[in-house]
Structure 1
Amino acid sequence: MKRVAIIGAGLGGLSAAITLANAGYEVDVFEKNAHIGGKLMPVQLQTYGFDFGPNTITMPHVFKQVIEQTGRRAEEYLTFIPLKHHTTNYFSDGTSLVFSRNKEYMVEQLEKVDSLGAKNYYSLLKELTRLYELSETHFFPKTFRSWTDYLSPSLGYALTQVRPLESMDHFFKRYFTAPTVLQAFGRYATYIGSSPYQAPATFSMIAYLELIQGVYTVKGGTVCIARAFHKVAKELGVRFHLNTEVDNVTIQNKRITQLHSKGIWLWTGDEVVMNADLLKAYSELVEEKDRPSFTNKQIEKIEPSISAFVILAGLKVRLKNMNHHSVYFSQDYQAEFDALFTKQELAKDPTIYICNSSVTDRERSPDGDNLFILVNAPPLPKNGKESYNVNEYKEHIYDLLEKKGLAIRDHLVVERVIPPSEIAQRFGAFRGALYGLSSNRKQDAFLRPRNKSRDLNNLYFVGGSTHPGGGSPMVTMSGMNVANVILKKKS
């Protein structure tokens, strides 16, 4: 029986573990933290439950597939709840736009704020569908292990058809004229940690996932996806080693043969799957002499994606007119991204995202709202420390929300701030980046680090820092894709 070690128990590692164990492999998962799920981390503050990780869930069929490939019924492990009118976008001019999978409802709203956009909306959906279907056929199922994987004629043709040279902002300007509407649609670039003024229009297809397939949450919190995977994996015999950080490897004949932690032997086996941020973990685990194709100098040149400044706030009241997802946009969106990527500093007038999951699931927070408040932040400087006062910026965000009619401090029971430095430390994220590389540069958008090491014959990569990219469905796909490559590998 072949033995596989998985470093990291995020969604990519969990989906790989289930796929391999279901095929009869002996699987051990090593996780540095005490919880399963990676950034999909549960946080409980008194009676207020929060999900740190992705609060917006799309593509539920991907998560179900991980479970159903084993012959089990996904519905017995987790419950997805569709959100019809899922995100309310508030703008600085006092107007708002609610995102919904209801096409007629979207057109009705657009007629009030962007009449041309209302006329163009069905044409936009048609183009988004085309972009998504190309991605689903040619990009999502693939693993990139060598240059030959990039040379497929069908892949090359598909690349030319997904608007790779056009920016997301330029693409949406084909359909909308109102600056506020362009802000709302441009925000999809932040789902891949990038700027709408630089990220390729290809990623506009993220809008397809929300506006056509729909947005979901999970009963009990999105963390229940990781818990369901964990349960299935254990039923298949996967062994989990929590609070166990792999910090050293033994390499022989271009193969990892052993894993170690604090000088203690952990594992000996055949294949290794790294579900950690490869920009950081790969360079820390493998000496530079053993990875000549991924040198420290190359890593230093990488442009990280954005990070996040997060406040978890439990309130003693239910705020009025709160949606499950709410976004309060800055007045000057372009200046905000210029601050994040060019000046590498926090925006003075940031866009503020709030998830209030208790709107949909009161059991998560029975005594009042549970607000997950997120502001985009630049990646950390190379010294790994914020160049600003964390508490002062938290108060600044509260001040901004108060001006928008949300008096958080008046109703605050409990709070916790999670700045980029904690994201870097807790999740091993390169400079605190949420998605590894940004997709602002074309080569980083389409030529992400491969799913297999070029230098070590039995090391594979899954997660947001490799193909197919960030976002919980993509990360989950990467785990299944890599597992299937290992299953097809000749002895």
Structure 2
Amino acid sequence: MQQQPKKIVVIGSGFGGLSAAIRLAAKGHEVTIFEKSDQPGGRAYQYEINGFKFDGGPTVITAPHQYDELFELAGKKREDYLTLVSLDPFYRIFDGNGDHFDYWRSQQQTEEEIKKYSPDEVAGYRKFIKGVTDIFNWFHPFTEKSFPTLWSFLRIFPHVIKTGTWRSMYGFAAQFIKHDFLRKVASFHPLLIGGNPFDTPSIYGLIIQFEKQWGVHYCVGGTGAIIKALCKLFEECGGTIKLNAEVKQILIENKRAQGVEFKDGSVYEADEVVCNGDVAFAYKNYISKTLLPKPMNLWLSNLQYSNSLVVIYFGTKKKYKDCRLSHHNLILGNDYNKLMRDIFQRKILPRELGLYLHMPSQTDDSIAPEGCDCFYVLSLVPNLDGKINWNDLMDEYVDKVLGFLEENYLPELRDNIIAKHAVTPLHFQNNLNSYKGAAFSIKPSMMQSGYFRPQVKSNWFDNLYFVGAGVHPGAGVPAVLASGKIAAAAIEQ
């Protein structure tokens, strides 16, 4: 029997919100997205400054089939809405001496890179990749399913023991690889989802095989072009997007979500509420404290949260044609272990920098004015538990990062910058509503994964669903898109 159409509100227009909204609108439901900002995207907000386009957040695009699935639901083709370009190598990873390792999709090409550092490590790397493939085969199916009960999660633990995924990502790599820098190369992926490679369980190593299976891609026009395409698809499915519409609270009656109230006092009633806002922030700010069970507040306060970021977007009046950089670059210093301890455990500002540098103009001329280059660099820093005064420190820190890039990779950089914008953990807290300014929400760990992570369907309130980095299956665009799929399926059921 076909379900009666429902009136559904989606708070926020990031990847998770759009994923859920498109699926529900394609099924004939009346879906309205309310976005607090002046344009959609959430963390994928795109800044346009002096003719440059800067993607606010996600830049590593994988799994094109997830987008294909959304367009096919509406009888459309993804290729008619956006253009994806395959990148290879996936990443260029620099060590503390400025030497680099190109991380290719091809096993053979990656092994050639390994031989440059230590030919004896090739056999170990092959064993590592086999282990990662086993992890992917066992656990990838669970990334599009919820864990409603503890038993549903405990059933996978025999496989956790069998595959050794209780070990940290770095520890898992260290079983097979002895060379220090190559261990870092094999285990950096938790950094992409807000985790510390030295304590994030290697179950998250499935990301490595995920990339090898479907590739790493770039969307022409930037990640913002994906958001625009998904918004267009959503509206073609009959959905409505309201911008500059900031939610004040989720309306709850008899433990059921009934709609939302906005900052201006107006109310929108709905049969179901999907929240794409940070799950910890939402529970603590969108729901009346008198309605929240005390155990929930205690639980949320005791969870561990991811690191934060300082992100600097900059455009140059010249092109750096002969620089050593690739499209995606990771710069890992010599004192890597200390860097991770300072950020995740001590929560102090490290002396050394851990950087991801994105150079999309290497691939896409449309992202910058003619003869110019476009960049974004993010620096790993502690979340706001670190008590760092970013209002006072921001300018000095931004200059430190740009100075480092100028000295090592981009000569005369600061003299050539003609567009610049920077954000600190305060932006993640105050603009993106991220609890503690955590850029990836709840930190990935064994006891904060699966059943032990907030679920898409609220355990406390009926008709309330959460999507995004803070809920299962976790951070990263593919996982966030999957959370939208889980939410839509739960509402349909």
TM-score range, shorter chain: over 0.9
Structure-2 residue corresponding to 1:309: 310
Structure-2 residue corresponding to 1:445: 449
Match of 1:106 among 80, 85, 110: 110
Cα separation, 1, equivalents of 2:152 and 2:244 = 36
The answer as to 2:462 corresponding to 1:475 is no
Equivalent pair of 1:47/1:367 in contact (CA under 8 Å): no
Q: Deviation digits for residues 193-251 of structure 1, max 9, x if unmatched?
A: 11111110111222223344321100111122211111111011111111111102332
Q: Deviation digits for residues 377-402 of structure 1, max 9, x if unmatched?
A: 11013879538600111111122223
Structure-2 residue corresponding to 1:379: 383
Unaligned runs of 5+ in 1: none
Structure-1 residue corresponding to 2:409: 405
Cα separation, 2, equivalents of 1:300 and 1:388 = 27
Structure-2 residue corresponding to 1:435: 440
Structure-1 residue corresponding to 2:325: 322
Equivalent pair of 2:307/2:440 in contact (CA under 8 Å): yes
Match of 1:60 among 52, 64, 71: 64
Cα separation, 2, equivalents of 1:369 and 1:327 = 18
Structure 1 residue 164: Cα displacement: 3.5
The answer as to 2:425 corresponding to 1:424 is no
Equivalent pair of 2:140/2:206 in contact (CA under 8 Å): no
Cα separation, 2, equivalents of 1:101 and 1:169 = 20
Helix, strand or coil for the counterpart of 1:260? strand
Structure-2 residue corresponding to 1:250: 251
Cα separation, 2, equivalents of 1:146 and 1:165 = 20
Aligned AA for 2:428?
Answer: I
Match of 2:462 among 440, 453, 457: 457
Q: Deviation digits for residues 410-439 of structure 1, max 9, x if unmatched?
A: 321121111110122121111111221112
Match of 2:24 among 12, 20, 26: 20
Equivalent pair of 1:258/1:265 in contact (CA under 8 Å): no
Q: What is the root-mean-square deviation of aligned Cα atoms in Å?
A: 1.9
Structure 1 residue 297: Cα displacement: 2.6
Structure 1 residue 444: Cα displacement: 1.1
Structure-2 residue corresponding to 1:332: 335
* Count of residues paired in the alignment: 484
Equivalent pair of 1:144/1:451 in contact (CA under 8 Å): no
Equivalent pair of 1:18/1:232 in contact (CA under 8 Å): yes
Distance change in 2, residues 1:52/1:162 (3 Å): farther
Equivalent pair of 1:63/1:473 in contact (CA under 8 Å): no
Structure 1 residue 169: Cα displacement: 0.8
Cα separation, 2, equivalents of 1:275 and 1:170 = 34
Cα separation, 2, equivalents of 1:94 and 1:8 = 40
Give the TM-score normalised by the residue count of structure 2.
0.94
Equivalent pair of 1:279/1:465 in contact (CA under 8 Å): yes
Aligned AA for 2:189?
Answer: Y
Structure-2 residue corresponding to 1:364: 367
Alignment of 1:48-127 (within 5 A): 48-127=52-131
Distance change in 2, residues 1:146/1:289 (3 Å): farther
Q: Deviation digits for residues 125-153 of structure 1, max 9, x if unmatched?
A: 2222221122222x1121234445435x4
Structure 1 residue 293: Cα displacement: 6.3
Structure-1 residue corresponding to 2:271: 270
Which sits farther off after the overlay, 54-63 or 288-297?
288-297
Q: Deviation digits for residues 270-328 of structure 1, max 9, x if unmatched?
A: 11111110100121111233221653332222211011101111111122232111122
Cα separation, 2, equivalents of 1:148 and 1:328 = 41
Cα separation, 2, equivalents of 1:296 and 1:102 = 47
Distance change in 2, residues 1:78/1:162 (3 Å): farther
Alignment of 1:133-148 (within 5 A): 133-137=137-141, 139-147=142-150
Distance change in 2, residues 1:22/1:89 (3 Å): same
Equivalent pair of 1:146/1:454 in contact (CA under 8 Å): no
Structure 1 residue 375: Cα displacement: 0.5
Structure 1 residue 87: Cα displacement: 1.5
Structure 1 residue 92: Cα displacement: 1.6
Give the TM-score normalised by the residue count of structure 1.
0.94
Structure-2 residue corresponding to 1:170: 171
